[in-house]
Amino acid sequence: MQTDNLELKKLVYLYLMNYAKSQPDMAIMAVNTFVKDCEDPNPLIRALAVRTMGCIRVDKITEYLCEPLRKCLKDEDPYVRKTAAVCVAKLHDINAQLVEDQGFLDTLKDLISDSNPMVVANAVAALSEIAESHPSSNLLDLNPQSINKLLTALNECTEWGQIFILDCLANYMPKDDREAQSICERVTPRLSHANSAVVLSAVKVLMKFMEMLSKDLDYYGTLLKKLAPPLVTLLSAEPELQYVALRNINLIVQKRPEILKHEMKVFFVKYNDPIYVKLEKLDIMIRLASQANIAQVLAELKEYATEVDVDFVRKAVRAIGRCAIKVEQSAERCVSTLLDLIQTKVNYVVQEAIVVIKDIFRKYPNKYESVIATLCENLDSLDEPEARAAMIWIVGEYAERIDNADELLESFLEGFHDESTQVQLQLLTAIVKLFLKKPTETQELVQQVLSLATQDSDNPDLRDRGYIYWRLLSTDPVAAKEVVLAEKPLISEETDLIEPTLLDELICHIGTLASVYHKPPGAFVEGGRGVVHKSLPPRTGSSESAESPDTAPAGVPAADQPSVIPTQGDLLGDLLNLDLGPPVSGPPVATSSVQMGAVDLLGGGLDSLMGGGSGGFAPAPGTAVPSNTGAPLGSGLGDLFDLTGGVGTLSGSYVAPKTVWLPAMKAKGLEISGTFSRQVGSISMDLVLTNKALQVMSDFAIQFNRNSFGLAPAAPLQVHAPLAPNQSVEISLPLNTVGSVMKMDPLNNLQVAVKNNIDVFYFSTLYPLHILFVEDGKMERQMFLATWKDIPNENETQFQIKDCSLNADSVSSKLQGSNIFTIAKRNVEGQDMLYQSLKLTNGIWVLAELRIQPSNPSFTLSLKCRAPEVSQYVYQAYETILKN
């Protein structure tokens, strides 16, 4: 080993690496040479020695490794330092405790500020790998100085080093938009790198920091433009790279469709692309489809539908249907394309086409029914359950227009027991629909199917549904008609969109396995290790306006959103169609506001069924108490105020009196007034609904638009009995804060939609911020001090609270009731200083300093918070609480 022949030395080292494990005692004897080689004048030998030593996984040797490693980490030669940095990661893998005890982690952190870019890159790589097994430790705690170092190193290190550095940068949270912009500017050149992994990591950093930039900025637009070409270039690479790139582009397109909206053509499929690339391209094509390019897209899709690969053809046909649903103007063309495809008589094409035409019927009712005849011609060729079910649904739904509907359905009935459950259920529903539409001729048929479903079937779903229909039909055919033939909710435009919070998390993981699987890392990374959830930074630009509607993923302003609130009837209707695929964009809705009569008719069977299935009948949350105010129309408001006297004065934070949110004039006679309250940790919206119209109101439902803090109803709006004219009902609707988040202007704006049997009404209201102050908002003193110092001074805002005559103690107890906690009280030169903290439901801490002068009725309030835009609303909350 002590030879000077380099080749021999290498070979001996290699031998040691492989056999040290089986002969640990012998291997120890080599330690001395390693230690000696670590002091060799030739830096390359020093590096080779430390590299090899790290690869020997024998505990006894590892102990001796520490000293040479420490020296090498501080070696004068960058090549040795660079190798030593990786060696720390190796050692950590063998013995984590040792690495921590020996303080190697700190040395490694120091290497981030090394003068040599390669050393920096390797140090970052080693730290990232170590951090992965220690998610809690703040190994990569970055500050603006170290970020600067990294950015400098980024320009000079190898491609692999650039990937490590970019991935590390993506975890940094810039303090404001200016810093974010300057980082973006320095990362942008990486988009022209030849290595696709570098490009994608750079895209990740940019996508993440872009979130902080104001959309009005010129730079924002420039950046958007710069992102498109590199993404397009990735698609000309080898298929494996294309696949990973496409999976990521799929996310990017959902988050920021504007980047690639003009690049549709690069996603056109070449016939010799591997199947996994084809399917991904198709998916993105549909996401990018818009009125402007729909003609091109359809022509392509039609082309694909004649290809050889069955899976791809099926997906292409489905895609045509999705286009029709997404771009209304194209629906007609899509339908005619589908009809052309049906004419080809290729079995699987026809079947797919029928499945998607069913969706088109649901989206655009009463528009394309003329094609039904063509569909019926192909009835016999359908052999897949999904297509059969779709066809049966169409026949049942449009039974009145199909002359021989009964014959068609009867033909299916012959082999009823051989069909799959999906088809059986659909057949049952379709025949009941047919019966309700043409009762005279089909009585025999319906009896036959009911007996087949209830008596001869082992499937509980089928049996139960059969019984429901049977009872409905035998007790009250009119009610049955209302239930079975109820209007169905429209289906949503975009299918399989990723949920926004998950999407945001995935955007932070662009270029990783998580982004390939479209699952958060926690869902599949090897168990045992906690995974740090990453989130997009909040936007900090002060000139921020509310997001324009066209950038909202759904692309629909709230007012036009179809089927926000399905009614009770819809839900049942939906229940009937449940097994026919497409997701419905409706919230879970009360299952209990069926007219009382109907409930009686359905009898105990249904009652228990529904109770067991959905818990909808349990009157636990948000119980409504109908009370007839008996007041004449005009004076309802006064009475309402009286009513509130009894409510909301329990323990809990301050509750403002109810105000009218939706005047009766604007809502066809429905008046809504209300307020927000917080009691023992739960937020609720206390509503009074008053019927000032002349007709009975029923089927109430409520939904919130996305808002700044994710407020959403925690339970459906339950109004048990229909609301008679001149009657009002008081409801406490529990809320939670797990809904989707969108920044509103003003911040505490809440847009609400309420539906009843008459119409859908929209109104917006402001909620006081203190309902969001959580009970555990008391900060430790030390923590408070540290945080106060840590938040930059420009985030501090001062307010005056005028005309308040309370003393410090009563102020603090009053505020405590609303979850604003006093941490310390000091008396400075006759003034009382209260130091307070509070925490919002989304985890934002607000620190406050309240200065009270005994003689002066106006207080000075200084607020410090990392998200300064909330300060103003916190101040408003203070004022409201203190003055009431």
| Window 493 to 512, contacts with another protein (CB under 8 A) | 511-512
* Closest distance to another protein from the beta carbon of 269 (Å): 9
Q: Which is nearer to another protein, 105 or 350 (CB)?
A: 350
Comparing CB distances to another protein, the nearer of 4 and 790 is 4
In three-state secondary structure terms, 443 is: helix
Minimum separation from the CB atom of position 68 to another protein (A): 17
Near another protein by CB under 8 A: residue from 35, 516, 696, 823: 516
Minimum CB distance to another protein, residue 664 (Å) = 57
Which listed residue (14, 532, 738, 786) binds another protein by CB under 8 A?
14
> 310 or 625: whose CB is closer to another protein?
310
- Among residues 15, 271, 499, 813, which is the contact residue for another protein, using CB under 8 A? 271
For the bound state, the minimum distance from the C-beta of residue 14 to another protein, rounded and expressed in Å, comes to: 8
Judged by CB under 8 A, the chain residues 426 through 465 that form the site for another protein are none
Q: Closer CB to another protein, residue 55 or residue 715?
A: 55
Q: 232-261: which residues touch another protein (CB under 8 A)?
A: 232-233, 236, 238-241, 243-245
Closest CA to 174 of 202, 139, 138, 148: 148
**Of 369, 360, 358, which Cα lies nearest the Cα of 330?**
360
Given a contact cutoff of 8 angstroms between Cβ atoms, the answer to whether 208 and 512 are in contact is: no
Q: Which is nearer to another protein, 2 or 5 (CB)?
A: 5
Q: How far is the CB of 187 from another protein (least distance, A)?
A: 12
Of the candidates 784, 773, 736, the residue with the CA atom closest to the CA atom of residue 881:
773
CA dihedral 576, 580, 581, 585 (to 10 degrees): -40
How far is the CA of 798 from the CAs of 284, 823, 875, in angstroms? 49, 19, 9
Sorted by sequence, the CB contacts under 8 Å of residue 746 that are 6+ apart come out as 766, 873
Q: Looking at 33, 36, 66, 77, which residue binds another protein (CB under 8 A)?
A: 77
Question: In the range 16-75, which residues lie near another protein by CB under 8 A?
Answer: 42-45, 48, 51, 54-55, 57
Tell me the site size for another protein, rule CB under 8 A.
84
- State how far Cα 764 lies from the chain centre: 24
Q: Write out the binding residues for another protein, residues 825-844 only, by CB under 8 A.
A: none
> Could you say which residues in the range 150-189 bind another protein, by CB under 8 A?
155-156, 158-160, 163, 167, 189
- Tell me: does residue 93 bind another protein (CB under 8 A): yes
List binders of another protein among 187-216 (CB under 8 A): 189, 192-197, 199-201
Under 8 Å between Cβ of 91 and 65: yes
Residue from 514, 656, 719, 754 touching another protein (CB under 8 A): that is 514
> Which one, 236 or 855, has the nearer CB to another protein?
236
> CA neighbours within 13 Å on the CB side: how many for 326?
25
Residues 6+ apart with CB under 8 A from 143: none
- Give the shortest CB-239-to-another protein separation in angstroms: 7
- The piece of 306-314, 443-451, 565-573, 705-713 that touches another protein (CB under 8 A) is 306-314
Relative to beta strand 859-865, strand 845-852 is antiparallel
578 binds another protein (CB under 8 A): no
Instruction: Return d(Cα 278, Cα 272) in angstroms, integer.
Output: 9
Q: Show the binding pattern over residues 517-556: x = contacts another protein (CB under 8 A), - = does not.
A: x---x--xxx------------------------------
Taking the alpha carbons of 571, 577, 578, 583 in that order, is the dihedral positive or negative?
A: negative
Phi, psi of 538 (to 5 degrees): -75, 155
Tell me the pairing of strands 701-704 and 659-662: unpaired
Per-residue contact string for residues 792-821; x = within reach of another protein by CB under 8 A: ------------------------------
The structure tokens 């938040």 sit at 791
Q: Of the candidates 49, 72, 73, 89, which one interacts with another protein according to CB under 8 A?
A: 89
Exposure string for 558-570, b = 16+ CB within 10 A, e = fewer: beebebbbbbbbb
Contacting residue, 266, 479, 609, 724, with another protein by CB under 8 A? 266
CA distances 788 to 210, 773, 879, Å, are: 28, 19, 22
Residues 98-127 touching another protein, rule: CB under 8 A, are: 118, 122, 125
Whole-angstrom distance between the N-terminal and C-terminal Cα of the chain? 85
